[in-house]
Amino acid sequence: MPAISATAPGKIILFGEHAVVYGQPAIAAPINQVKARAIISARPDLPKGTILLQAPNIGLEQALVDMPGDHPLVLTIHRVLQATGVKQPPALSVRITSTIPIAAGMGSGAAVSVAITRALSKFLGHPLQDKQISQLAFEVEKLYHGTPSGIDNSVITYERPIFFTRHGSENVEMEFFQVGRPFTIVIGDSGILSPTSTSVGDVRKAWLKDQETYEMLFNQTGEIVRQARKAIENGDNAALGPLMEKNQELLRKIGVSCDKLEQLIHAAHQAGALGAKLSGGGRGGNMIALTDDDFAPKIANALIAAGATNTMITKIIGKS
């Protein structure tokens, strides 16, 4: 049997993180420069039924049965077997590699789940559809991360910019929209590992204490996201910078920025960014800066000088 491989991209949230957990829309885009890859190979040399997991990036080489049952890779594989109805898979190996930075708000966990699900379901002769793949990755994220909105698994599965809204616990609305004119973003990694579950949990505590204020902040965020979608569709990139600034101001009030992110945002402004904000869970992880192409390398350098551990220049385009 030939090996089957699948990839899934990284992602960034452009507008609306956190408020999206509370029913407001958010906009996310795939980042195709970084990818997770899963390769499934038949392993007739191994005992019957063996599933061998190999993730050289994290030094993992272990049989599935010897791994903790709540490990996200184990959860993903069990769910794929369940969803495909395959009870006795042949001996196989699942090899995972990824260039997506871990715990930096670029969706590395969801991308690994999506890549495994795509490749393994195909290998088993029951290729799952995008909707099922996204749902499966969401279930794994939920077990692992608490109360995710579902935006990560969606943008990573469909590999297109999305306008995403969660309505209640079961219902999501996903709209793919046109990017009127591609625009350039510089991503800066603060180098601070910040689990999204912690910042999402802290926001929930704060919301429980003062629902009125937080609902107002979330509503204002939703309004900015709607305006940003219009601007992106119309190719009105000049309008996006000020909208990023407004979104960042609200994220500060929500309590998810931090000194390092603020320093990077300031450095991006000084170097000529049209707008900048944190991206993802906050308290660390990434920030993004909107820029004209010419300024992108200068902004990337300024971010490194201000303490970013990594930068990436990327163009947001529609689905080609």
45, 66, 152, 189: the active-site residue:
152
- To ligand PMV, the closest distance from the beta carbon of 261 in angstroms equals 13
Which residue's CB is nearer to ligand PMV, number 120 or number 264?
A: 264
CB 310 within 8 A of CB 303: no
- To ligand PMV, the closest distance from the beta carbon of 157 in angstroms equals 14
Which residue's CB is nearer to ligand PMV, number 29 or number 39?
A: 29
Which residue's CB is nearer to ligand PMV, number 17 or number 120?
A: 17
- 293 catalytic, yes or no? no
- To ligand PMV, the closest distance from the beta carbon of 221 in angstroms equals 10
Selected binder of ligand PMV within 18, 95, 118, 160 (CB under 6 A): 18
Which residue's CB is nearer to ligand PMV, number 251 or number 302?
A: 251
State the Cα angle at 274 between 272 and 27, rounded to 5°: 140
- To ligand PMV, the closest distance from the beta carbon of 213 in angstroms equals 18
Give residues 191-230 in contact with ligand PMV (rule: CB under 6 A): 196, 200
Q: Is 156 in the site for ligand PMV (CB under 6 A)?
A: no
Give residues 76-105 in contact with ligand PMV (rule: CB under 6 A): 105
- What 3 state SS string does the chain have? CCCEEEEEEEEEEEECCCHHHHCCCEEEEEEEEEEEEEEEEECCCCCCCCEEEEEHHHCEEEEHHHCCCCCHHHHHHHHHHHHHCCCCCCCEEEEEEECCCCCCCCCHHHHHHHHHHHHHHHHCCCCCCHHHHHHHHHHHHHHHHCCCCCHHHHHHHHCCCEEEEEECCCEEEEEECCCCCCEEEEEEECCCCCCHHHHHHHHHHHHHHCHHHHHHHHHHHHHHHHHHHHHHHCCCHHHHHHHHHHHHHHHHHHCCCCHHHHHHHHHHHHCCCCEEEEECCCCCCEEEEEECHHHHHHHHHHHHHCCCCEEEEEEECCCC
Give residues 109-148 in contact with ligand PMV (rule: CB under 6 A): 148
Which residues 6+ apart lie within 8 Å of 265 measured at CB? Answer: 248, 276, 277, 278, 287, 289
Which residue's CB is nearer to ligand PMV, number 148 or number 275?
A: 148
CA torsion sign, 203 to 207 to 209 to 210? positive
Q: Is 17 in the site for ligand PMV (CB under 6 A)?
A: yes
Give residues 245-304 in contact with ligand PMV (rule: CB under 6 A): 280-281, 285
Stretch that binds ligand PMV, among 10-18, 88-96, 122-130, 220-228 (CB under 6 A): 10-18
Selected binder of ligand PMV within 8, 20, 174, 308 (CB under 6 A): 20
Q: Is 189 in the site for ligand PMV (CB under 6 A)?
A: no
Stretch that binds ligand PMV, among 14-22, 124-132, 171-179, 264-272 (CB under 6 A): 14-22
- To ligand PMV, the closest distance from the beta carbon of 178 in angstroms equals 23
- To ligand PMV, the closest distance from the beta carbon of 3 in angstroms equals 30
Which residue's CB is nearer to ligand PMV, number 107 or number 275?
A: 107
The CA distance from 52 to 70, in Å, is: 16
The CA distance from 190 to 311, in Å, is: 9
Q: Is 152 in the site for ligand PMV (CB under 6 A)?
A: yes
Residues that bind ligand PMV (CB under 6 A): 13, 17-18, 20-21, 105, 107, 148-149, 151-152, 196, 200, 280-281, 285
Give catalytic residue positions: 152
